[in-house]
Amino acid sequence: MTPPHDYRFHQLGNGLRIGSERLREARSVSFGIWIEAGSRHESKGQEGTAHLWEHLAFKGTARRSALDIAKSLDLLGGQSNAYTSREHTCFHARVVDTHLEEALDILADIALEPRPSAEDFSREKDVVLQEIAMVEDDPEDSLMEAFWGAIWPDTSVGHSILGVPDTVRGFALPVMENWRSAHYRPERMLISAAGSLDHDTFQAMVESRFGRLEPGSPPPVPERGVYYPTTLLTERDTEQTHVALSFPGMGAGDDRRFAMSMLNAVLGGNMSSRLFQEVRERRGLAYTVYSFANSMIDQGVLQVYAAVDPDRTGELLSCLRDELDRLARCGVTPEELEHARDHLLSVLYLTLESSEDRMSRLARNQLLLNRYVSPEETAARFEAVTLEDLRALAAEIIDPTQAGLAILGPVIDPRWQEAFKP
């Protein structure tokens, strides 16, 4: 489909990509500096490197102190932040259009020229260690983090984004700077923006700040993980028993991703889903129960989570197994298909009213699919999903021989590890 005239894509000579979308009625503009450098790009012993650099970027540059950065961003009156994922680091902001160039200058400065002192480096390692401890203190987060590493063993896919205490404590700044130099390359960067902007002006802003970057030898392509249907039983003094399931899914660029989104909506993606209605509404087994499709560029998983009174753990496991088995054998009903379709189309249309969501949408489609994807194309792909598509996908994905199971709670019954075995 031909992109609309309000969308523009350009690639600089050094390989850096620029995607922008002008929203005629907006007064704000959102932009993101996306770098293909995440936890999947870390070798063994480097776990947490990408995430720590995201923190260190705000600790000062050659032109700005950490306080200068904080004050400048606050004075703009918008929103700015950064995050690290398994495949990307993103520095992003939303500001009034008159502040676009100043905000871009600040974020470009911290992304390209961080200059943390030795004291900043030591202090920020302690901050990250506290962040890791915070995850460990939360049973749900702790379980899901350990489970992710267990289903992707011996590969960077399974790395914790935050890192692990031993690696974080052992980081040395010169070694981290070498990693950053190898991964923060222009051909691995994308600048996306959506809102009140002029394409040519924005392109000139980006080129003046990023055009001088020299391309380099691309780092090795991250290895593909091998999914392992593990069983992880952990005894811990908690008020509830926390249960997670996994099944091998698909990459974010797979053509079946629209069917997967709809299958997840039927299973546990909203309040009318089968799991929410059966586990919470009919049986009162759990306050929290949901499913989600977790996709990277080339592979992913379908996961389920619920928390239950320890005395009713066996009942929960039986209920989850029955619902998953029924979905795999019988597929979905026509009513469920239409309800899931309407739900996802509504989510799509609502996100189009946000310049932040549109900016992220532009970036993700360019990074994952290497092209512009119009909202109309996405809507048409949801409209095209059939009952047979969902039936075939459910039968393929929900395979008990591929079910991973993780349970964390005050009492562990060894019999639970057989709950999803065929």
Q: Specify the amino acid at residue 291.
A: S
CB 263 within 8 A of CB 396: no
Return the number of other C-beta atoms located less than 10 Å from residue 254's C-beta.
Answer: 15
For the entire predicted model, the pTM comes to 0.95
Rounded distance between C-alpha atoms, residue 175 and residue 199, angstroms: 38
Inter-axis angle of helices 375-384 and 257-267, nearest 10: 70
Rounded distance between C-alpha atoms, residue 31 and residue 363, angstroms: 10
- pLDDT of amino acid 218: 76
For the chain, give percent helix, strand, coil, nearest 5.
50, 20, 30
For CATH 3.30.830.10, list the domain ranges present in the chain: 7-210, 231-418
Domain 231-418 has CATH 3.30.830.10: yes
Q: Per-residue pLDDT tens, the chain, 422 aa: give them.
A: 445 559 999 999 999 999 999 998 899 999 999 999 999 999 999 999 999 999 999 999 999 999 999 999 998 888 899 999 999 999 999 999 999 999 999 999 999 999 999 999 999 999 999 999 999 999 999 999 999 999 999 999 999 999 999 999 999 999 999 999 999 999 999 999 999 999 999 999 999 999 999 998 877 788 899 999 999 999 999 999 999 999 999 999 999 999 999 999 999 999 999 999 999 999 999 999 999 999 999 999 999 999 999 999 999 999 999 999 999 999 999 999 999 999 999 999 999 999 999 999 999 999 999 999 999 999 999 999 999 999 999 999 999 999 999 999 999 999 999 988 87
pLDDT in tens, 288-301: 999 999 999 999 99
Helices (H), 18-172: 49-56, 66-75, 100-112, 118-137, 139-151, 165-170
- pLDDT of amino acid 1: 41
173: which 2 tokens?
Answer: 């700044």
Measure the N-to-C terminal CA separation of the chain; round to a whole number of Å: 45
pLDDT in tens, 218-262: 777 888 999 999 999 999 999 999 999 999 999 999 999 999 999
How big is the chain, counted in residues?
422
- pLDDT of amino acid 220: 77
- pLDDT of amino acid 78: 80
- pLDDT of amino acid 415: 93
Rounded distance between C-alpha atoms, residue 53 and residue 43, angstroms: 15
- pLDDT of amino acid 173: 95
**Could you tell me which CATH class the domain 7-210 is placed in?**
alpha beta
Rounded distance between C-alpha atoms, residue 381 and residue 369, angstroms: 15
- pLDDT of amino acid 5: 55
CA distances from 166 to 130, 143, 162, 319 (A): 13, 19, 12, 39
- pLDDT of amino acid 2: 44
CB 187 within 8 A of CB 15: yes
Active site residues: 54
Please tell me the number of Cα atoms within 13 Å of 184 on its side-chain side: 23
Return the number of other C-beta atoms located less than 10 Å from residue 281's C-beta.
Answer: 12
